[in-house]
Amino acid sequence: MENRGITFGYGFLSQESSFDVQFSLIEYDGSHSYFRAYLVGLLNTILVSVIGIIFATIIGVVVGIARLSNNYLIERSAAVYVEFFRNIPLLLQIFFWYFAALRALPLPQDTEPMFGVFFLTIKGFFVPAFVWNNLDIFVYSIIAAIISIFFIRIYAKKKQENEGIQTPVLSISIGLLIILPLLSFLFGGVDAKVEVPVIKQLSQSGFTYEGGIKLPPELISLALALSLYTATFIAECVRAGVQGVSKGQKEAAASIGLTPNQVLKLVVMPQALRIIIPPTTNQYLNLTKNSSLAAAIAYPDLVLVFAGTALMQTGRAIEIVSITMLTYLSLSISISIFMNWYNKKIAIKEK
């Protein structure tokens, strides 16, 4: 290394980065430091991972349950979906959505609004944004609701253990979650205005939307591909989990007089979740790691911003690649430590 005239050090992180990133969650431009660029990339990675995880879970659970359906058509369609999407490389799917499918969308000036406020264009998805007054009070009201739900659950459990009376926790919780924020609107001075995107002419033929939130097509295609791909694996986890609960458990639960809902909630789901959660977390981890494919379609994630642009500018390959790898490594190791702890906690205790 010395022969090649390469110095080693992390001092460059505080230097001015002088490159721009087209999509960032925090304020950023060329005058900020490389460390700030790293944060921008990290936040973008986390953003797309969280979106992907949410949608992958929803699709995965629905498809996994559909694969267990006794309806032949539903079971088959779910199976076709799973076989199809998991046998095609993720990179190819990302390219497909980005270069083929989303390029077929209309230009901003030709877009028909969905429900009057959403605009799906070739330049991205424009959605209305909320403009808040006293947002903090609103957030506090939600936190207060969650804390009180927590205490109500403890109280309800105690009451059931002592007196055998069940409290309708679910309906009380939902009620609290609605009523407290509503009160904050009525008395707390919280106010939200909806800001609908409005079309604006940039040049002779260039149009764009202003106001609201813009989701760039890179983000959409990446999140779409990640969630559709990972959902197939989650679906298989869900199916394996529900099938892993033996039939005798359900019959035993039914025979001691539990209602079908109670059987599902108290007997089947706890056992199924024990099988489902570890591999599903693994899939979440895979999704987060796979989100690094963003570099292929220029979504400014950690790999593109930091291991791409910043590396090209500074030439500090060892430092930057090691930081990038360490970031992912610490992310996955912390999740796997948490998973091991959780696994131990929920494992069947037997002598």
Considering the complex, what minimum distance in angstroms separates the CB of residue 47 from another protein? Answer: 16
d(CA 86, CA 186): 49
Nearer residue to another protein within complex by CB, 168 or 315: 315
Q: Which 8-state DSSP code applies to residue 212?
A: S
Contact at 8 Å (CB) between 314 and 21?
A: no
Nearer residue to another protein within complex by CB, 152 or 331: 331
Nearer residue to another protein within complex by CB, 45 or 141: 45
Which residue reads 């799917």 in tokens?
93
Nearer residue to another protein within complex by CB, 75 or 195: 75
Question: Strand 198-201 vs strand 207-210: parallel, antiparallel, or unpaired?
Answer: antiparallel
Which positions lie near another protein, rule CB under 8 A? 1, 3-4, 6, 69-74, 77, 83-84, 87-93, 95-96, 99-101, 103-104, 289-290, 292-293, 295-296, 303, 307, 311, 317-318, 321-322, 324-325, 328-329, 331-333, 336
* 134's tokens: 């006293």
Nearer residue to another protein within complex by CB, 175 or 315: 315
Closest alpha carbon to 41 in 23, 29, 16, 53: 23
* 176's tokens: 């609290």
Considering the complex, what minimum distance in angstroms separates the CB of residue 287 from another protein? Answer: 11
Closest alpha carbon to 239 in 80, 66, 71: 66
Considering the complex, what minimum distance in angstroms separates the CB of residue 139 from another protein? Answer: 34
Nearer residue to another protein within complex by CB, 174 or 318: 318
Considering the complex, what minimum distance in angstroms separates the CB of residue 205 from another protein? Answer: 19
Contacts of 233 (CB under 8 A, 6+ apart): 60, 86, 279, 283, 286
Nearer residue to another protein within complex by CB, 82 or 276: 82
Nearer residue to another protein within complex by CB, 76 or 159: 76
Contacts 24+ apart (CB under 8 A), 272-276: 272/238, 272/241, 272/242, 272/244, 272/245, 273/241, 273/346, 274/241, 274/346, 274/347, 274/348, 275/240, 275/241, 275/244, 275/245, 276/237, 276/238, 276/240, 276/241, 276/242
Considering the complex, what minimum distance in angstroms separates the CB of residue 3 from another protein? Answer: 6
d(CA 288, CA 34): 23
d(CA 146, CA 53): 23
Considering the complex, what minimum distance in angstroms separates the CB of residue 332 from another protein? Answer: 4
Closest alpha carbon to 13 in 39, 48, 43: 39
Nearer residue to another protein within complex by CB, 275 or 331: 331
Considering the complex, what minimum distance in angstroms separates the CB of residue 63 from another protein? Answer: 13
Considering the complex, what minimum distance in angstroms separates the CB of residue 28 from another protein? Answer: 22
Contact at 8 Å (CB) between 216 and 22?
A: yes
Considering the complex, what minimum distance in angstroms separates the CB of residue 300 from another protein? Answer: 15
